[in-house]
Amino acid sequence: MSEKVKKTRVPMRCQDAKARIGNYNEVALGYSHEEAVAEAGRCLQCKKPHCISGCPVEVPIPDFIRAVAGDDPDTAIRVIKSTNSLPAICGRVCPQENQCEGRCVLNAAKNPVAIGRLERYVADFFLAREDKTAKNTAPAPHSGPDAPKVACIGSGPASITTAGYLAARGARVTVFEALHEPGGVLVYGIPEFRLPKTAVVRKELSALGDLGVEFRLNWVGGKTFSVKSLFAEGYKAVFVGIGAGLPKFFGIEGENLIGVLSANEYLTRLNLGRAYDFPRQDTPVYQGRRVTVYGAGNVAMDAARCALRMGAESVRIVYRRTRAEMPARAEELEHAEEEGVILEELAAPLSFQGDEQGRLVSVRLQEMELGEPDASGRRSPAPKKGAERILETDLAVIALGTEANRILLEETPELKLNRRGYIEVNEQYETAIPGVFAGGDIVTGAATVILAMGAGRSAAKQIARNLGLGGD
């Protein structure tokens, strides 16, 4: 392996930008065998691998990369799956640049090993083969009718990580999901072109079925059942992983106009309801020619890129700061710009205007300027006095973040909440109710898939110890 190859990160091939805005196929095409082996050969195999400390689920990263470099995919998948049950998903949507790759020694030269891409390569290799090695189907050591029962409420990343960990150690796990498909944000929030549902999500979730996990769909916590009823049915522990799916709004004039949507509704219709394939699918979505998206995180990028694929003539991201402060992953922002998304920087909405039929026609924007840094270290935006303008728009998608949905929380007043309305837990992720654990967005607020998985894994370890199932 030449020094040039070691120093140069192997790029990942993508669909051409002009072509991909006309389809919902995955944008990033993944590594070939040769590309993966070459990239794995760049790893320095550090004696003290800081990359592991940057991984919330503690994947033994140098070990699996060494296996890839040695053309040993069977070992690579076993190493990854020893701590991460969703590698094909994590390889696509985790912010590796802020986690494992951010800790890589080669990141000092802004050229870290592409750990996420290698993880995706290994996982995809086995998903394509549908190889049982990738599904961890070995019999659980304590399985049987007398094994302890555990309930997981919600089927997002935190819950399914908890379920997989405990099922692999012999617990009888039931996952209760309010929607008609399992996966949580993985299926309703992230578009097909970033995370394929049939080829990736469903296949990785099917591995939980191989471990004996039961999914009960259309079960709404706080309505269809309660936490108390689960204990009455013989469950020995309950994990609450319901996420934080209640959208936030500006609270400005015109937000009730036809054509003003939350990103939650817009993306759920497109992703879970498959509205991008309407009328072959039953779910419609509001069409827009001049689309504005408010916010600058990954959700905003997803909404903007979806709007382009739905045929919009123009799509603008309206953000009160500048490109440099946008919290979205650099890769997602880069892809959005390649596809034609326009950044409307230093602007904030004051009101939305509609026509006689109550349909959105424009937004009144306040021009902003950056002042001193706020508590987070980012420069605070301030209005420019007298600097307002009108921007035509017929579809506004508001992506300001989310907060806790209170259906289950109101039905379970014994749960202690913090001032932001999220569940309080101790260091072992146990709530104020003994035997009830929680993790993911319902504890931290909106965060990343991998952080939710890390919380689920930590909670599962404590549940396993409580139930006598190990927990190392």
CATH class, range 3-135: mainly alpha
Domain extent listing, the chain: 3-135, 149-245+404-466, 247-398
The two domains 3-135 and 149-245+404-466 share their CATH topology (first three levels equal): no
One-character DSSP codes across 413-427: TTS-B-TTSPBP--T
Q: Which of 136-145, 150-159, 317-326, 373-382 has the lowest mean pLDDT?
A: 136-145
Q: Write the pLDDT tens digit of every residue in 108-122.
A: 988 999 999 999 999
Judged against a pLDDT cut of 90, whether residue 139 lies above it is answered with no
Residue 312 CA to residue 319 CA, distance in Å, equals: 19
Closest CA to 442 of 113, 56, 141, 158: 158
Q: What is the predicted pLDDT for the residue at 318?
A: 98
Asked whether the predicted pLDDT for residue 280 surpasses 80, the reply is yes
- Give the pLDDT of residue 136: 46
Is a pLDDT exceeding 90 seen at residue 2?
Answer: no
Q: Which of the four pLDDT bands, split at 50, 70 and 90, describes residue 3?
A: low
For 292, the 3-state DSSP assignment is strand
Average the pLDDT over 214-237 and give the result.
97
Mean pLDDT for all residues in the chain: 92
State pLDDT tens for residues 178-189: 999 999 999 999
Q: Give the rounded percent of residues in the chain with a pLDDT score beyond 90.
A: 84
Of the options 3.40.190.10, 3.20.20.140, 3.50.50.60, 3.30.300.10, the CATH number for the domain spanning 149-245+404-466: 3.50.50.60
Binning pLDDT at 50, 70 and 90, where does residue 143 land?
Answer: low
| pLDDT computed for residue 376 by the predictor | 78
Confidence band of 225 (pLDDT split at 50, 70, 90)? very high
Q: In the numeric block, which tokens belong to residue 92?
A: 């696509």
Q: Please state, as a whole number, how many other Cβ atoms lie within 10 Å of the Cβ of residue 358.
A: 11
**What gap in Å lies between CA 214 and CA 273, rounded to an integer?**
23
Tokens 């394509």 belong to which residue? 128
Is the pLDDT at 336 greater than 60, yes or no? yes
Instruction: Output phi, psi for 107, to 5 deg.
Output: -70, -15
3-class state of residue 195 by DSSP: coil
- Average pLDDT on 238-254 reads 96
- C-alpha atoms less than 13 angstroms from C-alpha of 358 in its C-beta half-sphere: 4
What does the pLDDT look like over 389-406, one tens digit per residue? 999 999 999 999 999 999
With residue 428 as reference, give the H or E element that holds it: none
Q: Angle of helix 157-167 relative to helix 449-466, nearest 10 degrees?
A: 40
Parallel, antiparallel or unpaired: strands 172-177 and 402-403: unpaired
Please state the pTM of the whole predicted model.
0.92
Question: Predicted confidence band at 137 (pLDDT cuts at 50, 70, 90)?
Answer: very low
Q: What's the rounded mean pLDDT across residues 77-98?
A: 93
Spatial separation of the C-alpha atoms in residues 336 and 27, rounded to whole Å: 11
Neighbours of 192 (CB within 10 A): 23
Q: What is the pLDDT, as a whole number, of residue 1? A: 41
CA distances from 214 to 6, 143, 160, 171, 237 (A): 45, 14, 11, 11, 15
How far apart, in whole angstroms, are the C-alpha atoms of residue 353 and residue 365? 11
Q: What is the CATH number of domain 247-398?
A: 3.50.50.60
